[in-house]
Chain A
């Protein structure tokens, strides 16, 4: 019988939530790596039992864990994230040059075809890859060495590469996003990169044609239509129909166009989800109401989804990696909050219920659809 496995990274460990396809009764596994920050964990599309987890603390640095049995057991693999060349400097908050320094892995993106190949997005912003199941990591240095690199600046959360999107129709093409440099695309497997930020407009950047400097929070793609991208920017929800060459705003009637995650329905490429947040200085939902907004028209026209979600006194945030969709016939939508709740809707967002309410602050949510 088919089912789902939800992988939850939190401030104090990882949790694995499992259910059958009804998604009504859940088993909660964990905490794994108790006490450590788990920025992200994700399974291999090519082998669902192969999982990778980014485990870190400010005390003891970065660890990578790998599971070959769906999260029942884990083994520590390599953590040697060394920049491929003398890293040089990027801009610091005050505009002065600042040395590139590795801090942590924000996001792990397993290959679509090979369980031993994984991409890692790190802070300070760079992209690494392993082809041996995490034993060794090598930087794809063409990104960091882009001519704009010296002008990249950190966002409030650090200068992190937090989004990696692989094109299922073209193994040489992928997208990344960096706060606060913007979005980039490679068409040659990561050797060279180009900024893809045309059409983005950000408060505080006076040049409307600025090549970099935008605080992109998240990019989503439907695998059946890989040239169409959806973006939640710091402010503004955006869409590109030409693989990022140009962007247009689709915020429409959202109560706030600030937010972090964005997702696409598993079976409807024009159905997208965001979670509006009041502002960049008030990281909680408008009016204390936790609402997912859905557009079934590829943007601009949005409807609030509230059934089963707290509609008063709710002041949590939902971080960029903390929303996911499953691929069951009735698409499931999941998200986790900084208040430690993980919510599920088994019917594309019509009705919601908490899977668990009181985990540590949720940093990431991924879901695997199991046969």
Chain B
């Protein structure tokens, strides 16, 4: 299972308290993980990536294994530790004022 940590506002929308666990068919990429996340939690559609362009929203970042993966193309394979479930994919709201 893939482990995903959501930012607080999205945990509220998804009505989850901690990490979410997802089953992903095929290669584990940003796109396939987000597809699985949105399939399990449709209320998150449009909050992480744009409905139409499917691009990551500007103030949302992806981290795993101590690396910033935000600028990786959506079909790039995620680290093996994420695929194996030993490390979570962190979806983070950028620190910014307001």
Contact = CB atoms under 8 A, between A and B. Distances in A.
Given A58-B98, A59-B57, A79 B9 contact: no
10 closest residue pairs by CB, A with B = A60-B47, A59-B59, A59-B93, A76-B43, A79-B46, A82-B52, A80-B51, A61-B46, A61-B47, A58-B59
Interface residues of B, number: 19
20 contacts: A58-B59, A59-B9, A59-B57, A59-B96, A60-B7, A60-B9, A60-B48, A60-B93, A61-B47, A61-B50, A61-B57, A62-B46, A63-B46, A63-B47, A76-B13, A79-B46, A79-B51, A80-B46, A81-B51, A82-B52
Contacts, number: 44
The interface residues of chain B, by DSSP majority, are classed as loop
Contacts of A334: none
Nearest to B48: A60
Interface string A56-76: 011111110000000000001
A35 interface: yes
A58 B13 CA distance: 16
A80 B45 CA distance: 8
B94 interface: yes
A39 interface: no
B57 to A, nearest CB: 6
Query: How many residues of A sit at the interface, in one of the four size bands?
Result: 10 to 19
A36 interface: yes
A54 B29 CA distance: 32
Contacts of A83: 52
A61 B93 CA distance: 12
Contact of B9 (A57, A62, A80, A81): A57
B10 interface: yes
The interface residues of chain A, by DSSP majority, are classed as loop
A118 B48 CA distance: 25
Interface string B78-98: 000000000000000110101
Nearest to A76: B43
A35 B7 CA distance: 13
Contacts of B36: none
Nearest to A33: B12
A82 B51 contact: yes
Interface string B41-68: 0010111101110000101100000000
Contacts of B50: 61
Contacts of A76: 13, 43
A60 B10 contact: yes
Contacts of B98: 58
Nearest to A60: B47
B14 to A, nearest CB: 10
A64 to B, nearest CB: 10
Contacts of A81: 51
A76 to B, nearest CB: 5
B98 to A, nearest CB: 7
Contacts of B46: 61-63, 79-80
B84 to A, nearest CB: 29
Contacts of B13: 63, 76
Interface in A80-115: 80-83, 102
Interface in B1-44: 7, 9-10, 13, 43
Contacts of A59: 7, 9, 57, 59-60, 93-94, 96
A53 to B, nearest CB: 13
Contacts of B59: 58-59
B7 to A, nearest CB: 8
Centre residue among A58, A81, A83, A102 by max chain B CB count within 10 A: A58
B57 A79 contact: no
Contacts of A102: 52
B60 A79 contact: no
B72 to A, nearest CB: 20
A57 B13 CA distance: 13
Given A58-B96, A76-B13, A79-B45, 8 more contacts: A59-B9, A59-B60, A60-B9, A60-B93, A61-B47, A76-B43, A79-B46, A80-B46
A62 B43 CA distance: 11
